[in-house]
Structure 1
Amino acid sequence: MAYDYPPVGFHFSVSFTGLEEDVETQFQSVSGLSVDMETEEFAEGGENRFKHKFPVKTKYPNLVLKRGMAVESELIQWCRDAMEGFEFAPKDLTIRLLNEKHEPLRTWNVVHAFPVKWAIDDFNAQESKLVIETLEFSYHYFKILD
């Protein structure tokens, strides 16, 4: 299969396990798909010119999703249950980067996500723009599926 390089970053989909895929999958942006390797330094006795670095563990930042505010939303109800009722029910979610035929070029499976922040953009009578809601999730890790 021939790929056009590089793929465009504006054609993607997001889906949550257990939530319908209509308005819930329409996001303006996704950020936070990265991983860092934490290291630990160890000074060798007798050799003072450098320190050895050893890998310790991986660290994943929060996943941030933005979209136009949805008034009726299962996703927002799930977030409200966590934020207002302190009822956490982690979900897996899938992010797909799509080609021009709407076929996945790359798929990320985000494991055990739960909401940690929900924000609505400021209202301003002097601007003509959509109301954007920002959802931030903590998660264990992600896997690249293809």
Structure 2
Amino acid sequence: MDEQVRESINQAFRFVVQIDGINQGAFTECTLPAIEWEVQEVKVGGLNTYVPQLPGRRKATKLTLKNGIGTGDLLQWCLDTMGETFTRRAITVKLYNVKHEPLLNWHIADAYPVKWTAPQFKTDSSTVAMQTLELACGEITVEAA
């Protein structure tokens, strides 16, 4: 494969997750939130060929991180949430190219943990300390780095 073509292929496995601007853990999987809007139908008398639609509110969505090892700060944030102390934080997911140059940044405001799944402990397994972490998301912006 031509070197120039190889460099233009952006593989999705080079990413970093930051919480409040600090790398807080390593994860093998990151499912970014879908940005989806509700649609309101407007019924207009005498208009039978189509139903006009207007944009409504953005639907609630979640960021999912899987198979991770987090810092003490990340673990404490999850434990605080289980104790019903909800602290909203800023999350940034950064995607890098094959040369480790930044490509895209997803900024997620007002995120907080809503689900934390611990792994099964088995002597013949190599699972990591945090199986799944789901975060509720506030405003989402995407920018080229």
TM class, shorter-chain normalised?
Answer: 0.7 to 0.9
Residues 141 and 60 of structure 1, relative CA distance in 2, 3 Å threshold: farther
- Give the letter aligned to residue 31 of structure 2: S
Identical amino acids, percent of aligned pairs = 31
Gap regions ≥5 residues in structure 1:
none
Secondary structure of the 1:26 match is strand
Secondary structure of the 2:27 match is coil
Q: Distance in 1 between matches of 2:59 and 2:25?
A: 26
Q: Say whether the 8 Å CA contact 1:60–1:141 is kept in structure 2.
A: no
Aligned to 1:53: 53
- Structure 1 residue 115, shift from structure 2 partner: 0.7
Q: Say whether the 8 Å CA contact 2:28–2:68 is kept in structure 1.
A: yes
Aligned to 2:74: 75
TM-score by length of 2: 0.83
Secondary structure of the 1:89 match is coil
Deviations 1:99-122 (A, max 9, x none): 122221101111110111100133
Aligned to 1:130: 127
Q: Distance in 2 between matches of 1:135 and 1:105?
A: 24
Gap regions ≥5 residues in structure 2:
none
Q: Say whether the 8 Å CA contact 2:11–2:98 is kept in structure 1.
A: no
Q: Distance in 2 between matches of 1:102 and 1:108?
A: 17
Q: Distance in 2 between matches of 1:116 and 1:33?
A: 14
